[in-house]
Structure 1
C-alpha cells in the first residue's frame, strides 16, 4: 500500500471511529431520573394514609411546568377515574380536583407534564384513604418514553449544531478572508448545506417535540399536540429561527457569490446573532436561576463554537490546500487572532454556564450532567493544546511555507471537536446538575438503592423511605446492553427471617414495560430480604434478592 492510500485509509478509520463515538453518545440510555424538573412534594404525600378523601391532589415541582393533554390521572381503588375536571397550573404547582366521596383504599396518581426547559416529566405514586389496598392499574395512560424518539431528538440536536458550523464558517471566511482568485463554489455549497441542515433539524425538533412530550412513537402526533408545541416558548423559538433563516437567505446569497457591502454584512450578523438566541431560549438556559444571563452566555458559547470550528473546517478543507504562501501569510495571522478570541469567549461562557448549571463542585462528580461536562472539559483542554501548537507555527511564520503540519493539527482539532458536539447534543437532553441535586438526597430521604444482576437482566431496586411502616418499591429492568428490558410479569416478596416474618407479597403495578411500582408496609426494623422475579418471555424468568436495611 502506497503512502497516499495509507493516509486516506487512516483518515477513513479515524472518521469511522469518531462516528461510532458520536453515535454511542447519542444513543446512550438515559438514567432512571431523566426529567429536568423534579416533583418536590405532593399533598397527600406519596405512600401516605389519610383518614378521609381529599378534594384535590396538589403536585409541587422544582420549576414551572405545562400541561400534556390527558396525561394527569387519578385512579380509584375500583379502577375508575377519581379526578374531576381539568387540573390547574400555577408555575410549579399543579392542582387536580378529586371526588372526595370516593371509596376507601389505595389511589394511583400518574402524571406527565412539560418542564420549563421543554422536557417531559413523568411519574406516579399512590396514597391511601382509610387503609391501603391493592394498588389499581391505570390501563388508559401510558407515560413511557419512546427510545426511538429520544434518540431522534439527540440526532436532530447534533445535526442542528453541525449545520450551524457548516453555515457560519464559510460565510465568515468568504466575507473577510477568502482570496479573490480562488473559486467560491466549494465553500458556497458547504454554507447552503449548513443552512439546509439547520432548517431540517429545526423542523425535526418541532415534529419530534409532540411525541417526545406526550410519550408516543415517531408518528403519534395530533393537531392538539402541535397546537401545544407551537403555543410554547419552545415552539415560538423554533418558528422564529425558521423565519430568521428565511430572511437571511436573501442577504446570504450575494455574500457567498462575491464580496458584499458592509451594511449587508452587519445586517446579516445581526440576524445571525438573533438566530443564535433561539437555541438557549428553547432549552435549559431559559429555565435557569438567572435566565437572562444564561441565555446570553449560551448564545455566545454556541456562536464562538461555530466561528472556531467552522473556521477550522475552512482552513483544513480549502485554504491550506488551495492558497499560496503569500495568501497564507496574510490569512493565518488574522485567523489566529480570531481563533484566540473565539476560544477565550468559549472558556468564559463555559465557565459561567458551569457555575449556573452545576451549582456545586460535588455535583460535577455525583450527577450525569456533571460527569459529561467533565468529559467535555477534558476534550476541550486537548483541543486547546493542539490549537496552541498551531498558533506557535503561525507566529514563527512556518505555517505559510509548510502548511502540512498546520493542516494535520487542524484535522486533530476538528476530530476532537466533533466528539465535543456529540457531548453537547447529549448534555442538552440531560438533567442539569442543579436540578438533579435539587431533590432530597438519598440519605435525607432514606432511599435504599441497589443494582442486582441475573443471567437475564440487570435490576435497579429502590425502596423509600426504607423505614418501618409504609414503603414504596420501584423496580427497573435493563438488559445486558443497559437498555430498558420489557418485563411480561413481575413478582416480589419481602421477608425478615431474623424476626420470623415469612415472605409477604408485594403488590406490583407495571408503570412502563421495564418499570414496576408497589407499596408495602414493613412492620419491623432489620435486614429484609426482597426477592424479585421478572419474567421476560413465556419461558424465560430469573429471580434476584436484595437485602434492604429497614430502620
Structure 2
C-alpha cells in the first residue's frame, strides 16, 4: 500500500508536470524597435527589444541576419532597464532582416523568438535558418525540468509529513522502521529533484541539448539566485539527514528538534526564492507565503499518506482515539495556513478580477480553488468521523468507522495529488499580472501589439494605428517553442458586438510562410474583437481572439 501511495503521488504529479502549452517563459515581449514587420527607409544603428522585466541575454543566441544570409550584428548585446540593445554594423542592403533572440527572465525561464523588419522594401525570400533556433528549447530538457521540479515537490511532501508524524504524534507501540524509511526516501527524492533542477536549468536557459553545456555555463548558473537557492537546499538536506536519525528513532535532544524545524523552514523557503515568488512585485510577502503554503501542504498530504499506509491499519482503538483528534486539528490548521498563504500569493500574482477571469494563470487558480473546495468537503466528513471516535455508542470498537475513515482519507490523498498537479501547471504559466500588463499594449507610436497562444502556435500581432479608418495588420506565426511556423491558411476578422457590427474580414497578403500583412477598415471607435484562425496542416487549425481598443481619429 505504501508503494502504491508514494507511486501515485509521484506519478500523478509527474503527469501534470508535463509542459502546459507554449507559455513557459515569464518575461514577456512588450515591443521592438524597429517594429515587427515594419519597413524603414534609414538603416537602424541598433535593435531595441523591450521586455516586461529585466532579462539576461544568451549572447550566442542573439543574431541579426541580413537579406544575403550574413550576420549584421556587432559586439555583445547590452541591457538597460527592461531594454536589450543589439548594435548593428550599419548595413545598407535593401531587403528583409531577421532578428533572433533568447533571454533569461528573472525567474530563470527562457524566452526567445524571432521577428523581421525591412530596409527599403521586403525581400521575397527571408533567411531564417540561423535564427529560428533561438526560441527553441530541447524537448528532452523541457520534460526533464518538469519532472525534476515535481520530484522536488513530491520529495518535500514525503519527507516533511512522515517526519512530523514520527516526532510529534506517533503511538509508542507501533514500529517506526517503515515510516522512517519513507521520510528518508522523501529526502532522497528531494535531493535528486534538486540536483536535476540545478543541472537542467543550464541547457534549459541557454537552449542547448541535455549534454551540450560548458563549464562556464554551469559556473554562471551556480552563482546566480536560482543556483544559490538550490545549493542552500542541498546543504539543508545533508544536515537534516544527519540530525533526523536519532529524532525519528524516538530520541534526540531538544536542540536537534529545533534545528530540524529551522532547517525545514529554510528548505521550503528556497522554493519561493528560486521561482515566481522571488520575482513578484512584493517578493518578501510572496516568498514567506509560498513557504507557509508548501509547509501546510507537506504536513497535510504527507500526514495523510502516513495515516492511510500505517496508522489506520496498525493502531488499535485506544491509540486511534488519541491520535485522530489531534491529527484532525493539525490538518485543519495546515489547510487554513495553505489557503491563506495561497490567497496572498494569488492576490499578488493576479492583482485584479480581470486578470483572474481572462488569463490562463487566473483560470488555473480558479480550477485549483474548486478542487480544493471539493477535497475540503471530504475532509469535513473525515473530521466528523474522527469526532465520533472509533467506538460505537456502547463503547465497543466499531470497525465500520475505521474502514470509512480509511476511504475518506484516501480520497483526500487522491484529491490533494490532483491539486498538486494543477499547481504544477501554474509553475509553467506566466503570472496573470505580467500577462495582462503586456497583452494588448498600445505603444506611443499607435501600434497595438500582443502575443496570442494556442495549442498549435504562438501568434504575434501588430495593429497600426489602432484608430478608426484603415488599419494595417502584421501577423507572425511561431511554433510553441518559438520557431517560425508555416501556415497553410489564414483567416482574420474584426467585429464590434457592442454596437452590432458583424465581423469584417481582413484582406491578407503573404510575405513569408509565417508572416502575413493585412488590411482592415474600422468605421467606429470601441473595443473591437479580432479573431484569427490559422490552419497549419490539412486538418489542424486553431482560433485565437483578442480585444483591441480602437481610438477615434
Fold-level similarity (TM above 0.5): yes
Deviations 1:474-507 (A, max 9, x none): 2357xxxxx98999966678999xxxxxx98623
Match of 1:153?
Answer: 145
Residue 493 of structure 1 contacts residue 505 of structure 1 at CA under 8 Å; is this kept in 2?
A: no
1:487 to 1:543, Cα distance in 2 relative to 1, 3 A: farther
Deviations 1:406-431 (A, max 9, x none): 22111111011111111122211111
CA distance in 1, matches of 2:346, 2:535: 42
Query: Where does 1:49-448 land on structure 2 (aligned, <5 Å)?
Result: 49-134=39-124, 136-141=126-131, 142=133, 143-398=135-390, 402-441=401-440
CA drift at 1:117: 0.9
1:489 to 1:348, Cα distance in 2 relative to 1, 3 A: closer
1:200 to 1:438, Cα distance in 2 relative to 1, 3 A: same
Deviations 1:361-405 (A, max 9, x none): 122232221121111111111121111122222223347854222
1:421 to 1:114, Cα distance in 2 relative to 1, 3 A: same
Deviations 1:323-360 (A, max 9, x none): 12222222222212211211111111011011011111
CA distance in 1, matches of 2:100, 2:374: 46
CA distance in 2, matches of 1:165, 1:438: 34
CA distance in 2, matches of 1:182, 1:495: 68
Which stretch of structure 1 is more off in the superposition, 341-350 or 47-56? 47-56
Deviations 1:268-301 (A, max 9, x none): 1101111111101111011101011111110110
Deviations 1:139-195 (A, max 9, x none): 333121333322222222221111111101111111111122221111111011100
CA drift at 1:440: 3.6
Match of 2:16?
Answer: 25
Q: Which of 24, 27, 38 is residue 48 of structure 1 equivalent to? A: 38
CA RMSD of aligned residues (A): 4.0
Query: Where does 1:519-534 land on structure 2 (aligned, <5 Å)?
Result: 520=517, 522=519
Residue 95 of structure 2 contacts residue 119 of structure 2 at CA under 8 Å; is this kept in 1?
A: yes
Q: Which of 462, 465, 483 is residue 464 of structure 1 equivalent to? A: 462
Structure with more relative contact order (C-alpha pairs < 8 Å, separation 6 or more): 2
1:549 to 1:381, Cα distance in 2 relative to 1, 3 A: closer
CA distance in 2, matches of 1:389, 1:494: 53
Helix, strand or coil at the partner of 1:506: strand
Query: TM-score normalized by structure 1?
Result: 0.82
CA distance in 2, matches of 1:200, 1:285: 23
CA drift at 1:136: 3.3
1:494 to 1:53, Cα distance in 2 relative to 1, 3 A: farther
Q: Which of 507, 512, 521 is residue 508 of structure 1 equivalent to? A: 512
Is there any run of 5+ residues in structure 1 with no aligned partner, and where?
A: 1-7, 478-482, 497-502, 510-515
Helix, strand or coil at the partner of 1:127: strand
Helix, strand or coil at the partner of 1:123: strand
Is there any run of 5+ residues in structure 2 with no aligned partner, and where?
A: 392-396, 494-506, 524-529
CA drift at 1:459: 7.1
CA distance in 1, matches of 2:376, 2:543: 49
CA drift at 1:249: 1.5
CA distance in 2, matches of 1:398, 1:529: 61
Match of 2:497?
Answer: none
The reply on whether 1:35 has 2:25 as its aligned counterpart is yes
CA distance in 2, matches of 1:545, 1:330: 58
CA drift at 1:22: 4.8
Helix, strand or coil at the partner of 1:437: helix
Match of 2:500?
Answer: none
CA distance in 1, matches of 2:462, 2:185: 52
CA distance in 2, matches of 1:443, 1:258: 64
Helix, strand or coil at the partner of 1:70: helix
Residue 134 of structure 1 contacts residue 507 of structure 1 at CA under 8 Å; is this kept in 2?
A: yes
Residue 17 of structure 2 contacts residue 425 of structure 2 at CA under 8 Å; is this kept in 1?
A: yes
CA distance in 2, matches of 1:548, 1:261: 62
Residue 58 of structure 1 contacts residue 95 of structure 1 at CA under 8 Å; is this kept in 2?
A: yes
Deviations 1:447-494 (A, max 9, x none): 799999xxxx967766532775754222357xxxxx989999666789
Residue 286 of structure 1 contacts residue 295 of structure 1 at CA under 8 Å; is this kept in 2?
A: yes
Helix, strand or coil at the partner of 1:204: helix
Query: TM-score normalized by structure 2?
Result: 0.82
